[in-house]
Each structure stands twice: as C-alpha cells, then as structure tokens.
C-alpha cells in the first residue's frame, strides 16, 4: 500500500504543534524584559510533519531488521505500535483540518 507523505503531514503537524505549545507554556516564565522568538504555526506544523515521517521511517527500518532476524520481536512490535499511533493521529488531525476548512468555506461573507 503506497502512503502519500502529504497525508501524514497534517497529523504530524498537529502533534508537533501540540508539543511546541506545551514547550512554549513551560518557557512562559521568561524574564519580563526579554522577547523570545516564537515559532509560527506553519513552522510547528512542518516540524510535526517531519517528526511523523521520521517515526514512519524508523518503524519501517525496524520491521525490515526484524524480518532479517536482526531485531527481537518486542522491538518490532513496539515500533509497529508507534507507527500505528502516529498514522492514526495524523489521519485524525487531517480530518479535523479538512472539516475546519469546509466550515470556513461555508461561512457567509
């Protein structure tokens, strides 16, 4: 089954955006006089997409290593479960983004 990497981009972007927002909340205690550079939403989405693609690639490499007999079963199962979670998250985020886009399109001007 061929996977379109752009379909994973939305999920990965959402995961990355969540992690970035969590990190920004933790760094919110910066001194009052200093401005910190904050990443844009697009940057967070791009990073999340890249993280998701990296997870997919690592899981595939682990599975191939397991098929050759060079990895134990537990490692292969853990990588497969992480891959499954990443794909499900990406699809859910993509669906929500499409739904939000459709709602925006239906708004009267």
Query: Looking at the domain assignment, is residue 13 inside a domain?
Result: no
Spacing of C-alpha 43 from chain mean position = 12
- Domain hosting residue 98, numbered range: 40-109
Please count the structural domains in the chain.
1
How many angstroms separate the Cα of 103 from the Cα of each of 6, 9, 14, 107? 22, 21, 19, 6
Nearest to 89 by CA among 30, 62, 49: 49
d(CA 105, CA 59) in angstroms, rounded, equals 37
Report pLDDT digits (tens) over 20-73.
666 665 555 555 555 578 888 888 888 888 999 999 999 999 999 999 999 899
Q: Which two tokens stand for residue 26?
A: 């933790």
- Please state the pTM of the whole predicted model: 0.58
Q: Which two tokens stand for residue 61?
A: 């490499």
């Amino acid at each position: 089954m061929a996977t379109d990497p752009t379909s994973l981009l939305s999920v990965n972007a959402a995961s990355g955006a969540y992690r970035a927002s969590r990190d920004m909340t933790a760094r919110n205690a910066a001194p009052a006089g200093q401005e910190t550079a904050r990443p844009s939403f697009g940057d967070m989405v791009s990073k999340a997409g890249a993280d998701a693609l990296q997870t997919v690639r690592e899981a595939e490499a682990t599975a191939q290593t397991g098929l050759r007999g060079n990895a134990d079963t537990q490692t292969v199962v853990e990588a497969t479960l992480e891959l499954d979670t990443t794909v499900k998250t990406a699809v859910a985020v993509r669906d929500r983004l499409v739904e939000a886009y459709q709602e925006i399109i239906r708004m009267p001007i």
